Structure 1
Amino acid sequence: MIFSLHFPPKLRFSDEELVAFCLANPDLNLERDEKGEIQLMSPAHGLTSANNSEIIGEVIIWNRRTKAGKVFDSSGGFFLPDTSMRAPDVAWVRKERWDALSKKEKHSFPYLAPDFIIELESDTDNLNKLKSKMKKWVANGVRLAWLISMSQKKTYVYRANGEVKKVSFDQKLEGEDILPGFEVILADIFEI
């Protein structure tokens, strides 16, 4: 479940204040949308968390083999061009982009859109709101994004060119040219 905190415009966090707030409240899982509103996310239920661990594990195994980049979990936030700060369930950034960041940038929320992200629908999520969020990820520079809908047992694959494709859980998902050689069949790893 997501709760939004609405602040008057004069009280909105700057990027530096948001980082300081997050550091002072490490137990909070939050994002800032492009309007400056803070959204608090409740912890995931057991099954959602277990399934998220399975998919992040697949990305980590692929990345260890290829050494192609860095993998981030849901506690890793990114400042995006639209001024939002988002933290997807899974993110991946190409090695050369990560290596180009300074040490200071790596110790904060980097100003970059991941190359690949995954959002996993939980029991309390609104699928239409998640679809809107996915479009924002892509509009901000994400090259490949997967919205895994547990309720529909389908993955919505968003591409940088605006194309959206649906893939059922028993079909193979591929990392395409963003994560070359990455393949997974969600029915093989998820408990539904």
Structure 2
Amino acid sequence: MSTITLNLSPTILLTDNQFYEICQNNRDLRFERTASGALIIMSPTGGESGLKEANIITDLNNWNRQKKLGVVFSSSTGFKLPKGGDRSPDAAWISRERWQSLSLTERKKFPPICPDFVIELRSQTDDLEELQEKMQEYIDNGLRLGWLIDPQNRTVEIYRLGQAAELLYSPFTVSGEDVLPDFVLDLTSIFLEE
């Protein structure tokens, strides 16, 4: 199944609680919501993409356990972005200070915060243009650094707050720069044939 977008607005305007309940009552699907209220329905990822995603999250989490600078989230986590969208990146990181500024209630549902760092890993069924728009939405909501990793084209688009996206062709690694000091992701296994 590919991604399906339902434009509910203006007929149906889901409250934050209604959107959260739809997600909880349909755990076999992944849902996102755009700032304009469109509901995005995604099926679970395939095995190869899931393996690559797990490896990326493992590397990010291992770095974070050593540095103790923040918290790491998987693709199961939805974030209520400041400008209205509800998004679930494949991997996300938030500085400890920003995470701790949220109340316990805010942390339990979809945290009302844009991550400092996200990774989107393009699967075979993902539309590249839609992922690029999603990355721009993160930037518009305050994301400091983001990577759009595209194994099919062997590229990485790097998104930085206040800058144009940078496109890298077949890089061996990408760096977390000043957002994730000393974090380097090895892309060798990500770019292997699926």
After TM superposition, the score normalised by the length of structure 2 is 0.93
Partner of 1:187: 188
* Aligned residue type for 1:147: L
Using the alignment, how far apart are the partners of 2:156 and 2:129 within structure 1?
Answer: 14
Check 1:181–1:8 CA distance in 2 against 1; reply closer, same or farther (3 A cut): closer
The aligned counterpart of 1:142 is 143
Give the deviation of 1:188 after TM superposition: 4.6
Q: Which amino acid aligns with 1:171?
A: F
Show structure 2 runs of 5+ residues with no match: none
CA contact (8 A) 1:171 1:185 kept: yes
- What is the CA distance between 1:18 and its match in structure 2? 1.0
Matched, 1:80 2:81: yes
Q: Write the deviation string for residues 138-161 of structure 1: whole angstroms up to 9, x where unpaired.
A: 111111000001111111000002
Provide the residue aligned with 1:2 in structure 2.
3
Contact 1:169/1:185 (<8 A) preserved: no
- Counterpart amino acid of residue 83 in structure 1: G
TM-score for the superposition, normalised by structure 1: 0.94
> 2:159 is matched with which residue?
158
User: 1:162 offset after TM fit, Å?
Assistant: 2.3
- Measured at CA, do residues 189 and 61 of structure 1 come closer, stay the same or move farther in structure 2, by a change above 3 Å? farther
1:112 matched to 2:113? The reply is yes
- State the secondary structure of the residue aligned to 1:72: strand
How large is the Cα RMSD of the aligned pairs? 1.4
Q: Read off the aligned partner of 2:181 and give its amino acid letter.
A: P
Tell me what 1:121 maps to: 122
Secondary structure of 2:143 counterpart: coil
Higher mean C-alpha deviation, range 155-164 or range 1-10: 1-10
Q: Distance in 2 between matches of 1:186 and 1:4?
A: 31
Would the aligned equivalents of 1:169 and 1:187 in 2 still touch at CA under 8 Å? no
Whole-Å Cα distance in 2 between the matches of residues 8 and 160 of structure 1?
A: 30
Distance 1:47 1:131 in 2: 22
Partner letter of residue 175 of structure 1?
Answer: G
- Aligned partners of 1:63 and 1:69 also within 8 Å: yes
Q: 1:10: how far off?
A: 4.0
Partner of 2:179: 178
**Alignment match, 1:39:** 40
The CA deviation at 1:36 is 0.3
CA distance in 2, matches of 1:182, 1:169: 19
Residues 154 and 168 in structure 1, CA contact (< 8 A), matched pair in contact too: yes
- Quote the offset at 1:60 in angstroms: 0.5
Match of 2:23 in 1: 22
Percent of aligned pairs sharing the same letter:
38
Structure 1 consecutive aligned stretches of length 4 or more whose deviation exceeds 6 Å: none
Classify the secondary structure of the residue corresponding to 1:9.
coil
Matched position secondary structure for 1:11: coil
Aligned match of 1:55: 56
In 2, the alpha carbon distance for the partners of 1:169 and 1:188 equals 12
